Amino acid sequence: MNKSNNHNLVPVILAGGSGTRLWPMSRSMYPKQFLPLLEAEESMLQLTLQRLEGLASLDKPILLCNDEHRFLAEEQLRQINLKSQGLILEPVGRNTAPAIAASAFHALKSSEDALLLVLAADHDIKNIPVFHQAIDKAVALAEQGKLVTFGIVASHPETGYGYIQQGEALGDGTYSINEFREKPDLETAKSYLASGDYLWNSGMFVFKASTYLSELEKFRPELYEASRLAYEASAQDLNFIRLNEKLFSACPSESIDYAVMENTTNSAVVSLDAGWNDLGSWESVYKDASVDGDGNALTASTDAVCVDTKNSYIQGDSRLITTLGVENLIIIDTPSALLIADRSKIDSIKQLLIKLKGREELDLHSTVHRPWGNYTTIDEGARYKVKRIVVKQGAKLSTQLHHHRAEHWVVVCGTAKVLVGDKEIFLHENESVYIPKGTVHYLENPGKVELDIIEIQSGEYLGEDDIIRLEDKYGRSDK
């Protein structure tokens, strides 16, 4: 089945979510889709986009993400020299059906024949040529008006995925869909595998934007209308499309499967056997990784010495990790938190995260990314905190003040342009400035290299919410 070139193929990348099941690597302010979880330098999002290279008639992608991740997503696109049609910002989570609807409305602004390739940003696919062949088959069906999904050839009786029962053969590796099935128990999963009629539900799709919206309006008119109104009332901010919060919040929260795919009679599935994996938990990351003779998986950056250790996943890059006489463990070491878990219990990690509520480590890494760069907390005590701040070329922190703390900045590398009160000064290596409590100030990098400074905070309260922003080039409020 050959791919037609009648339509441009628009990748729609679902990059929302907090990925809490992969804590402590994935945290709400820096979730898994922006992390290099696989043995590569690129993040999951970047790999998702890069594996599309070589597809014919490929258009610029549309990304969907949360508001707090917008600059992170844009920076990762910039790193791989890729421009988007826009980043659609979801003010609240409403599952995949409304999110994809917003993307469809946006794609139709550029082309009434837009064809969407909907992908999650946290999947791994090892055999890219086979994946491309499957996309070609899906595009051919979608151009005939089909809503096409990809069904993964099951390698074992998996209870963590939904299943698709394939129906009549439509062509080479393509089928009509008899039924969608929810995540089964183990015995049911075994029966699905034995029958040979069931595929794992991948959550990836190809269809015309107009076809999806037509079917959505037919089966979920309230959801269709709420999505349409939220998109039409959206605000354009740089390359960000901010969906109207009040209107989008009124959308019913439903998955595309529940809202459309389980109801339409116009669906098809493409069988895919390309080393696919949904990296939703540490157990799935372990199963996706290469293991040694003892069944242990260590990431390339991990410095570990293991004796009498078996069937364990170990990750960390900040210090030596040693193990002795253990097996079936997940060990994730980060600068601010260490996780040691029994592999058989890792699916219960949410119970642990409930216990961590109120702790900064639940949401933030020791290195926190901002649109202007990043900062790392080096040390802190009752009335002081020491940070390393890195400011990108041409970037500027907001004009701000603090009610409860004073700050002392020392330039380590680069040139800093600083406002203190009503005085603007330039600082170079080994020069410093003191900002008294309550003083209006900003920090800017006017140079062509990164600006690296050490910040020493002192005062009775050192929380990040003690920032009163008076002006901000990135549109952030003081909350």
In order, the DSSP letters of 71-112 are HHHHHHHHHTT---SEEEEESS---HHHHHHHHHHHHHHH-T
Does the structural domain 9-278 have CATH classification 3.40.190.10? Answer: no
- How crowded is the C-beta side of 87, counted as CA atoms within 13 Å? 24
- Contact assessment for residue 285 and residue 313, using Cβ atoms and an 8 Å cutoff: yes
| DSSP symbol at 15 | -
Is residue 432 a contact partner of residue 413, using CB atoms and an 8 Å limit? no
In this prediction, residue 2 carries a pLDDT of 37
| Beta-carbon contacts of residue 149 (< 8 Å; ≥ 6 apart) | 164, 177, 201, 202, 203, 204, 205, 261, 267, 268, 269, 270
| pTM listed for this prediction | 0.87
Q: How far lies 156's CA from each of 109, 152, 450, in Å?
A: 43, 11, 49
CA atoms within 13 A on the CB side of 16: 20
Containing 139, the helix (H) or strand (E) segment is helix 128-142
CA 407 centroid distance within chain: 34
Sequential pLDDT tens for the chain (479 residues): 333 445 789 999 999 988 899 999 999 889 999 998 877 889 999 999 999 999 988 999 999 999 889 989 999 999 999 999 999 999 999 999 999 999 999 999 999 989 999 999 999 999 999 999 999 999 999 999 999 999 999 999 999 899 999 999 998 999 999 999 999 999 999 999 999 999 999 999 999 999 999 999 999 999 999 999 999 999 988 789 999 999 999 999 999 999 999 999 999 999 999 999 999 899 999 998 999 999 999 988 899 999 999 999 999 988 999 999 999 999 999 999 999 999 999 999 999 999 999 998 999 888 888 889 999 999 999 999 999 999 999 999 999 999 999 999 999 999 999 999 999 999 999 999 999 999 999 999 999 999 999 999 999 999 888 999 999 988 776 54
Nearest residue to 115 via CA among 76, 169, 187, 61:
61
Strand partners, 315: 332
The rounded distance, in Å, linking the Cα atoms of 71 and 106 is 20
How far is the C-alpha of 86 from the C-alpha of 12, rounded, in Å? Answer: 10
Question: What is d(CA 151, CA 402) in angstroms, rounded to the nearest whole number?
Answer: 54
Residue that has been written with the tokens 């970047």 in this structure: 46
Q: Where are the beta strands (DSSP E) in 260-319?
A: 267-272, 276-278, 297-298, 304-310, 313-316
What the block records as the tokens of 176 is 């009509």
Helix (H) or strand (E) holding 285: helix 282-288
Residue 117 near residue 13 (C-beta atoms within 8 A):
no
Question: What's the rounded Cα separation, in Å, for the pair 203 and 180?
Answer: 12
pLDDT (0 to 100) of residue 479: 46
Put the strands of the sheet holding 441-444 in their side by side order. 423-427, 416-420, 441-444, 399-401, 468-471
24 preceded by a cis bond (ω within 30 of 0): yes
Quote the pLDDT of residue 478: 57
Domain locations in the chain as residue ranges: 9-278, 282-355, 366-471
Class of 366-471 in CATH: mainly beta
